[in-house]
Amino acid sequence: MKKRIIISASAALFTLALNSCKKDFLDQKNPNAIAVTESFRTPSDVLSAVNGIYQSLRSSNNIGENSGLWTDERSDDTGRNDNQSNAGEPFQFGDFSILPSNTYLKSHWASLYATITRANIVLTNLDQVTFADAALKQQYKAEAEFLRAVEYFQLVRTWGDVPLVTKQLKSTDEVTANTFREKQAVVYQQIIADLKDALNSNLPNLQSGAGLGRASKAAINTLLGQVYLTMATTQDQANRTANLNDAKTYLLAAYNMRTFGALSSIPYTDVFDVAKKATCPEIIWQIVNRQGDVTYSSSIAANNQAQGETINSLKVTSGVGGNVTPDMIKDYETGDARKTFSVKFASNPVVNDYFITKYRDASSAASNLGYGGNDWILMRYADVILMLAEVSNYLGETANAIQYLDIVRTRAGMPTYAVSSANAAYASKYPNLRLAILHERRVELAFEHHRWFDLLRTFTDTELVAFFKAKSQSDFGIARLANFTTKDRYFPIPFDETKLDPVKMYQNPGY
C-alpha cells in the first residue's frame, strides 16, 4: 500500500484562487502569478484542463486502482492482518476503529474535492473561450459535469451530508461561505442534474481508440441508473418506486448501447486481459494505463502479488500482496472458474494465505519493475446486468431479475438460479433472490471496489450490523467484527474539517 499524499481540503476548494486576489496595501500583480481566468484562452487550454480532471482520478487517494482502502478493505472481501508500523492507520478501515484524525481519511476527502475543484474551474471559465466548433465546447462541458458527478457520488455515499460547491471559489470569503455540509438529498439532485445535462450532449454512446477512458453516454446512463438505485434503497423511501423505475430506465439505456450480443460471447478472462483491454466490448469506462511507462503504468498486478509468486508480475515482492479474507474465499461456489482466475493460495511461509490474481501483467514489457498495462475498470456490462437484476427484484419483476442473474451465471459456467436454489447448500446461504444477487455481485465483481457500496444498498444500518456480526471472527484475522456498529455506515468527517466549524461541519454520529 502506497503512502497517500496529504492535501488540505480547504486548499483544494480554492486552488489557484488567491493568485487573482490583491493585497490591500499593494496595488500591483505578481508577475510570476497567473490567474486561473488567464489560463483559459483557447479550446486547447480547456482540453488540457479537462484532461487534468481525468488525471486526478488515477490517485490512490481518489478512485484509482489502488484506492481499495475506502471500499474493498472496508467490506468483507479484503483486509490486512497487520496493525503494525505504517499499516496502523490503514488497518483502522477494516477494523472499524477509524478515527477522525486518520490521515488517509483526510487524503481521500481532499483528493475528491481537488477533482471537483478542477471540474468547477472548467465549468466556470468555459464560456469565456471562443470555440469555432460548438460541439467541442459541449463535449468538454459534459465531461466535466460527468466527472464532478462521479466524485460527489463517492463523497455522499461515504460521508453522507457533504459540502456542495459547483463553481470556482475565488476568495477566502467564498470558501468560508461554501464550507458547510449540505443535505444528501440536495447533493443527489445536483448529481442527477449534472448527469442529465451531460447525457443531453454529443458524447458517443461508447468510446474507442484514442477516446478510451473518456466519458460516454453508456457511462452516464450507467451512473444515473446506479444513483437512482442507491437513492431508492438508502435515501428516499417516499419515492422508492419512482426511483427504481428511473434506475431501470437508465440501466436499460446503457445495456442497449452494448455492441455485443450475449454476455457469454465474452470470456470472463478477456475482460482483464492486458492484450485485449482496448477492444473488449464489455468494458464501459476505464482509467487507461500504459504498459512500461514509469508514470502512467499500472502497479496493481505487482502490488497484489504475494511473496514467492510470479503469476501476476515479474516484479519480486517480499509482502503478502492483495490479501483476501477467508470469508470471501468461502463464498465462491464449488467449480466457479472466477475463483480460479481471481485468487490463488500462496503457500510461502511468510504468506500462507490467498492473494488477488485478477489483475495480471507478467510480460517482459511490464518488466521486473512491475510497470503493468492493466486498465482500471470502473464500469462494465456485468455490473449493469446485475444492477438490472437488483432493480427488477425490488420492483417485483422476479422473472426478469432471474433472467438477468442467469446471464452472468451462465457466462461463468455456473448452474442457473432455478437449479442452484434447489441445492440445499446454496438455498441455505442465499435463501432469497436479494441475497443471491448480492452473492453474484460479490464473486463476479470481486476486488473491483463495488462490494462495500453493494452492502450499503442491500441492508439497512441495523441489518448490516447483524450481517457482519453473524460472520465468523476467524475469517477476518485480527480485524475485530465486534467493533462494527451503525456508526460505520459512514466515515467520520476529517478532524481538520470539523474543528474549523463544528456547527456547519458537524461530525457524523458515533465519532
Q: In the block, which residue shows the cell 441495523?
A: 462
- Which CA distances in Å does 118 have to 14, 17, 54? 10, 12, 10
CB-based contacts of 109, cutoff 8 Å, min separation 6: 9, 155, 159, 494, 497
- Which CA distances in Å does 12 have to 61, 148, 440? 13, 14, 38
CB-based contacts of 399, cutoff 8 Å, min separation 6: none
Q: What is the pLDDT of residue 80?
A: 84
Q: What is the pLDDT of residue 28?
A: 46
Residue 49 gets which letter from DSSP?
A: H
Lookup: cell for 50: 479537462
> Which candidate, 168, 72, 29, 175, places its Cα nearest to that of 452?
72
Q: Are 13 and 179 in contact (CB under 8 A)?
A: yes
Q: What is the pLDDT of residue 12?
A: 52
As to burial, measured by CB atoms within 10 angstroms (0-12 exposed, 13-18 middle, 19+ buried), residue 361 is buried
Cα gap 20→185, rounded to integer Å:
34
Cα gap 510→489, rounded to integer Å:
10
> Which candidate, 201, 50, 212, places its Cα nearest to that of 140?
50
In our burial notation (b when 16+ CB lie closer than 10 A, e otherwise), range 239-256 reads eeeebbebbbebbebbbe
Cα gap 164→339, rounded to integer Å:
41
Q: Are 331 and 296 in contact (CB under 8 A)?
A: no
Cα gap 457→374, rounded to integer Å:
29
Q: What is the pLDDT of residue 37?
A: 72
Q: What is the pLDDT of residue 208?
A: 96
- CA angle 207–114–170, rounded 5-degree value: 115
Task: Give me the phi and psi of 376, to 5 degrees please.
Answer: -90, 110
Cα gap 395→404, rounded to integer Å:
14
Cα gap 76→326, rounded to integer Å:
9
Q: In the block, which residue shows the cell 463476479?
A: 444
Lookup: cell for 170: 475565488
Residues in the chain: 511
Cα gap 375→385, rounded to integer Å:
21
Instruction: Name the strand (E) or helix (H) holding 243.
Output: helix 240-255
| Single-letter residue type at 322 | G
> Which candidate, 164, 226, 165, places its Cα nearest to that of 195?
226
pLDDT tens figures, 264-305 = 999 999 999 999 999 999 999 999 999 999 999 999 999 999
Long-range (24+ apart) CB contacts under 8 A made by 161-164 are 161/187, 162/187, 163/13, 163/113, 163/505, 164/190
Low-confidence ranges of the chain (pLDDT < 50): 1-11, 14-28, 31, 33
Instruction: Name the strand (E) or helix (H) holding 224.
Output: helix 217-234
CB-based contacts of 55, cutoff 8 Å, min separation 6: none
pLDDT tens figures, 252-261 = 999 999 999 9
Where are the domain boundaries for CATH 1.25.40.390 in the chain? Answer: 1-203+459-511
Q: What is the pLDDT of residue 24?
A: 37
What's the CATH number for 1-203+459-511? 1.25.40.390
pLDDT tens figures, 336-388 = 999 999 999 999 998 999 999 999 999 999 999 999 999 999 999 999 999 99
